[in-house]
Amino acid sequence: MPDCSEQIRQQLAGLNLAPTREAEIVEELAQHAEDRYRELVSGGATEAEARRAALDEVGGHELLARELRAVEPADAPEPIVLGAGSKAHLLTGLGQDLRYGFRTLRKNPGFTAVAMLALALGIGANTAVFSVVNGVLLRPLAYPDAGRLLMIYETTAEFSQSSVAYLNFLDWRRESRSFADMATYRGDDLNFTGAGQPEQVSGEYVSASLFPVLGAAPFLGRGFLPEEDRQGAACAVILSYGFWKGRLGADPNVLGKPLTLNAVSCAVVGVLPQDFRFRENPRVYVPIEQWTSAELRTREEHPGLRVIGRLKPGATLEAAQAEIASIASALSRQYPKTNAGHGVKLVRMKDDIVGYIRPTLLLLVGAVGFVLIIACANVANLLLARATARQREFAIRAALGADRKRVVRQLLTESVLLSVGGATIGLLLARWGTSLVLAAAPGSVPRAGEIGIDPYVLLFTLAVSVATGVLFGLAPALHSANANAQESLKEGARGAGGGRHRAEGVFVAVEIGLAVILLAGAGLMIESLWRLWQVEPGFNTRNILTTKVALSPKVMASPPGIRLAYQQLLERVAAIPGAQSAAITSVVPLSENDVEIPFWPGTGPQPAQDRMTSAMFYIVTTDYLRVMQIPLRRGRFFTDRDDLGSPPVVVIDDVLARHVFPGQDPVGRQMSIMVVGPVQIAGVVGHVKHWGLDSDDTAKVRDQIYFPVMQVPDKFLSEAVAGLTLMLRTGLEPLSLVSAVRAQVAGPTQDQPIYAVRTMEQIIARSLAQRRFTMLVLIIFAGTALLLAAVGIYGVMSYAVTRRSHEIGIRTALGASRGEIVGLVLRQGMRLAAIGMAAGLVAALALTRFMAGLLYGVRPADPATLAAVTLLLGGIALLACYIPARRAAAVDAVVALRCE
């Protein structure tokens, strides 16, 4: 029976059926005709009669078409051809592509899961980094027109960015024309009493101009009036939203009510909105003129005041810089004693807050890009492998009339579907991972509260996912579309082109190369941190509890009361079981606080400001050395006899000793300290790395002077003791003593709170937070890269083994041993790995130079690190090849050959 498909097809031609549907109907009816023919022939009809009858049944007249028209819907006439079609055409095709893509992905859950996971890791990591970059670097500060906000610093010979003397600020503000206005502020802890237990609240002394300069206004009440920011004015206070809500129960009638801060009654005039952010988000704001310190009235001192200015519209930073500089130089002519050599430096507020972290974040952007490329290479490889398996499908589609563009588009739709799916998971990973990493390294990133998933991040993720979908889908798609339809159909299930294996090898080598770079970066950061942990800070960091203490407001009024209160407090605390010794200090090393004071040798008159050098100044009690276990080099430390009745003494560190008294014994010599006056040097102690384990060696001011609390003159005492820190050396875990310390500090009157409790080790960890953050993120990226690269090489080798099982079978049949087969596969895989590692090492040598600034004690091209990285990666690659190699060795020659 000749095939009558053609006649049937002619019958259906007018119906415009979908090609696949038409093919089915034709096949079914042709089968029917054939059955009929056979039956007729076996019943005795001649072949010609039988053929005619059979044909008559299925294709002889219009009936079939008429009946079918009522049942079968017409379809577009032909497979859609991209390019020439109209818009509607394009969209129909797209819908079809999407539907088909979904179905294909659903049919291969294993492939889809692995590919999506790789993409989720890659895209998720990129989303995470972008959300940080977006929140920290890109997004403007949360003030209106924030680009016009500038920080104004003073500069001296010793400090490129010094805080500002209040009187200088007032002169700048009065004389400058470039700024709409300027404001100053200074953070301080305030003693809040009169509402139950006394409490230290973080406060900010601010000029009345601060809120207008920032462009912020209270949502309840008003900002400060200029007359509230004058000496002798009644105290006013503006509350943060958090304080108002948490501490005052969101009292709607709070305006005008008094709060007692530092024993002064302050009337509430405003409450700031919930989303207002400023610095460390202080709880209360008080006019700067309420700060009673004498330091406010002299140009000599720079008591931590910062100045912020809002440029007038149209004014530039450069012009403002020139203007303030000329004002400053006029001031230094006018007040040579205090202002000689002082300049100014303007910094954009955003740069001031986030500038230091930019290099780190850019490094991470680069690193995370590599992770994405690795993920793409991985998925491209998976797609290539699958494309080979689908060769027949494409050949059939091509034979049915689909053109090359159409196939490419179908494949790209599938890969974009994959990457968008991966991105969705990645978005969740990013959200979760970002908060996890930020929590693991607190304080490492500024503006951390503003990091999150916003529309820009979503847009970024979408763009990245579509771009990656096209990127990793393109090579496999082009490869598939180029496949020769006839060849593929002839070759059957075993079909594969040579190009694919080359591409696969390249992808794997690229993955391994990039993994080397990331591992090298992570390795260098680990090495840096490890070296930093080895740095001796100059004291014993273990088992020290630090906490700020506030004395009872009742004793603060009288200096002898203050001294007695401290003595008793230390005695009570030292008696706690588990406590070994206790001391008080004005400044804690490595805590980001510092006080510098100018000094000069001898007892002569004070030289000009620019002739003096500064030293770090610590006001401490007698047991400080014992608590910190700082070594005593010469002379003695303070004793109880060093009080107001005896001549003032200081203890200096060996850096100052070498610097000012080279080759001499400084003990017993005189020196002079600004404000304090002439003092005698009682002893020399070891240097403490106050500025940080990494940066102390390069700091400009390293000399250190210790001064006994008990010798602080009465008039400075109450100010000097505000915010002192209790240091307690313990024999037990320091934090286990916190409640005992709290009870003992509270004292008989129960009104002396402790706050800001930390161990010394926590302070040190925090000083390394940013490096730790960088290291942590790089380790995560490198780990991901390693995993993806291992999966990549494993996949390629597994596939190669499957493909070569025939050849391996022949080799085994010809007498190759298991070892030889394993060696064969390992050699092939390790050759790829070696190429990748070599290229990666070269690239790592070039790229790690850019992270030189983030390293400590290790060169970017550290041979040990690079060797370790190579070994690690080589080991993983070997393992990833070994599993398929073993499987290859297990190939049964008979089975492999029979498959043919």
Partner 1 sequence: MEGRSIDREWKKGSAELLLLSLLEAVPRHGYELGKLIERRSEGALRFHAASLYPLLYRLEKRGWIQGRWVEKSGQRRRRYYRLTAPGRKVLASQRQGWQTFVEAIGRIVGVENA
b vs e for 221-244, b when ≥16 Cβ sit within 10 Å of the residue's Cβ? bebbeeebbeeebebbbbbbbebb
**Residue 70 touching partner 1 (CB under 8 A):** yes
459 binds partner 1 (CB under 8 A): no
Q: Which is nearer to partner 1, 5 or 293 (CB)?
A: 5
For the bound state, the minimum distance from the C-beta of residue 485 to partner 1, rounded and expressed in Å, comes to: 23
Measured CA to CA, the distance from residue 750 to residue 197 in angstroms comes to: 8
CB of 520 to partner 1, least distance (A): 57
Helix, strand counts (H, E) of the chain: 30, 21
Report the candidate in 453, 513, 451, 516 with the shortest Cα–Cα distance to residue 773: 451
Token duo for residue 166 = 């209040």
In the complex with partner 1, the residue whose CB is nearer, 63 or 852, is 63
| 186 forms part of the interface with partner 1 (CB under 8 A) | no
Piece in contact with partner 1 (CB under 8 A), picked from 55-63, 101-109, 386-394, 568-576: 55-63
Instruction: Identify each DSSP E strand in 243-352 by its residue range.
Output: 258-261, 264-271, 284-287, 306-311, 343-348
The least distance separating partner 1 from the CB of residue 6, rounded to whole angstroms, comes to 17
According to DSSP, the β-strands at 264-271 and 236-239 are: parallel
Verify binding: residue 61, partner 1, rule CB under 8 A: yes
Q: Which residues 6+ apart lie within 8 Å of 483 measured at CB?
A: 391, 394, 395, 495, 497
Computed on alpha carbons and rounded to an integer, the radius of gyration of the chain in Å comes to: 39
According to the binding rule CB under 8 A, does residue 24 interact with partner 1?
A: yes
63 binds partner 1 per the rule CB under 8 A: yes
Q: What is the DSSP letter of 139?
A: S
* 29 lines the binding site for partner 1 (CB under 8 A): yes
Taking contact as CB under 8 A, which single stretch among the options 60-68, 304-312, 550-558, 577-585 is the one that binds partner 1?
Answer: 60-68
Q: Does 392 bind partner 1 (CB under 8 A)?
A: no
- Does position 47 interact with partner 1 (CB under 8 A)? The reply is no
- Shortest distance, position 67 Cβ to partner 1, whole Å: 4
> Residue 95 burial by CB count (10 A; 0-12/13-18/19+): exposed, middle or buried?
exposed
Handedness of CA 221, 225, 228, 234 (dihedral sign): negative
Asked if 74 touches partner 1 (CB under 8 A), the answer is no
User: Tokens 């004070």 — which residue?
Assistant: 606
| Strand duo 258-261 + 544-549: pairing | unpaired
To partner 1, the closest distance from the beta carbon of 410 in angstroms equals 24
Determine, following the binding rule CB under 8 A, whether residue 25 of this chain makes contact with partner 1.
yes
Nearer to partner 1, 27 or 571 (CB): 27
74 versus 871: smaller Cβ distance to partner 1: 74
Count the neighbouring beta carbons within 10 Å of the beta carbon of residue 50: 20
Q: Which of 67, 571, 697, 714 binds partner 1 (CB under 8 A)?
A: 67
Q: Considering only 32-40, 334-342, 601-609, 788-796, which stretch makes contact with partner 1 by CB under 8 A?
A: 32-40
Range 293-299 contact pairs with CB under 8 angstroms and sequence separation of 24 or more: 293/719, 294/715, 294/719, 295/166, 295/719, 296/166, 297/166, 297/167, 298/165, 298/167, 298/338, 299/165, 299/167, 299/168, 299/331, 299/335, 299/338, 299/339
- Residue 849 as a binder of partner 1 (CB under 8 A): the answer is no
- CB of residue 54 vs partner 1: minimum separation in angstroms? 9
The per-residue DSSP string of 152-175 comes to EEEE-SS-SSB-B-HHHHHHHHHH
Looking at beta carbons only, is 56 or 761 nearer to partner 1?
56
Tell me: does residue 58 bind partner 1 (CB under 8 A).
yes
* 28 vs 820 by CB, closer to partner 1: 28
**Closest by CA position to 741, among listed 606, 883, 547, 525:** 547
Q: Which of 72, 199, 403, 751 binds partner 1 (CB under 8 A)?
A: 72
Question: Which residues does 299 contact at the CB level (< 8 Å), separation at least 6?
Answer: 165, 167, 168, 331, 335, 338, 339
Position among 6, 35, 175, 807 found at the interface with partner 1 (CB under 8 A): 35
CA distance 702 to 687: 8
**Only segment of 29-37, 335-343, 816-824, 849-857 that touches partner 1 (CB under 8 A):** 29-37
Closer CB to partner 1, residue 35 or residue 78? 35
Residue 365, helix vs strand vs coil: helix
How do 199-206 and 284-287 pair as beta strands? parallel
Give the shortest CB-23-to-partner 1 separation in angstroms.
11
Q: Binding of partner 1 at residue 28 (CB under 8 A)?
A: yes
Choice between 72 and 403, CB closer to partner 1? 72
Distances (CA, A) of 407 to 383, 466, 476, 782: 14, 18, 11, 36
Residue 501 C-beta: closest distance to partner 1, Å: 34
CA dihedral angle for residue 725, residue 731, residue 737, residue 743, rounded to 10 degrees: -70
| Residue 284 near residue 271, CB atoms below 8 Å | no
**DSSP class per residue in 175-202:** H-SSEEEEEEEEEEEEEEESSSS-EEEE
Among the listed ranges 59-67, 214-222, 619-627, 811-819, the one in contact with partner 1 (CB under 8 A) is 59-67
Q: Which residues partner with 759 through β-bridges?
A: 545
Among 12, 33, 881, 889, binds partner 1 (CB under 8 A): 33
| Of the candidate residues 48, 71, 88, 439, the single one contacting partner 1 (CB under 8 A) | 71
**How far is the C-alpha of 473 from the C-alpha of 466, rounded, in Å?**
10
Piece in contact with partner 1 (CB under 8 A), picked from 66-74, 254-262, 373-381, 653-661: 66-74
514 binds partner 1 (CB under 8 A): no
Min dist CB 30 to partner 1, Å, is: 9
Region from 33-41, 313-321, 374-382, 600-608 binding partner 1, contact rule CB under 8 A: 33-41
**Residue selected from 4, 12, 40, 64 as contacting partner 1 according to rule CB under 8 A:** 64
Choose between 64 and 311: whose C-beta lies nearer to partner 1. 64
Between 54 and 429, CB nearer to partner 1: 54
The answer to whether 34 contacts partner 1 (rule: CB under 8 A) is yes
Cβ at position 57, least distance to partner 1 in Å: 5
167 binds partner 1 (CB under 8 A): no
Instruction: Please give the torsion angle defined by the CA atoms of residues 591, 593, 598 and 600, in that order, rounded to the nearest 10 degrees.
Output: -20
Closest contact distance (angstroms) between CB of 401 and partner 1 is: 22
Q: Which of 5, 7, 9, 32 binds partner 1 (CB under 8 A)?
A: 32
φ/ψ of 331, rounded to 5, equals -65, -40
Instruction: With CA atoms as reference, report the closest residue to 631 among 661, 648, 651.
Output: 651
- Among 4, 12, 22, 36, the residue binding partner 1 under the rule CB under 8 A is 36
Q: To the nearest 10°, the Cα dihedral for 559, 563, 569, 573?
A: 150
Count the site residues for partner 1 by CB under 8 A: 21
Choose between 28 and 714: whose C-beta lies nearer to partner 1: 28
Please say which residue, 12 or 382, places its beta carbon nearer to partner 1.
Answer: 12
Check binding of 6 to partner 1 (CB under 8 A).
no
Quick one: which of 31, 265, 334, 664 contacts partner 1 (CB under 8 A)? 31
**CB nearer to partner 1: pick between 72 and 751:** 72
Total residues belonging to the chain: 900
If the CB atoms of residues 103 and 174 are measured against partner 1, the closer one turns out to be 103
Binding of partner 1 at residue 57 (CB under 8 A)?
yes
Tokens of 190: 């305030």
Binding site for partner 1 (CB under 8 A): 24-25, 27-29, 31-36, 57-58, 61, 63-64, 67-68, 70-72
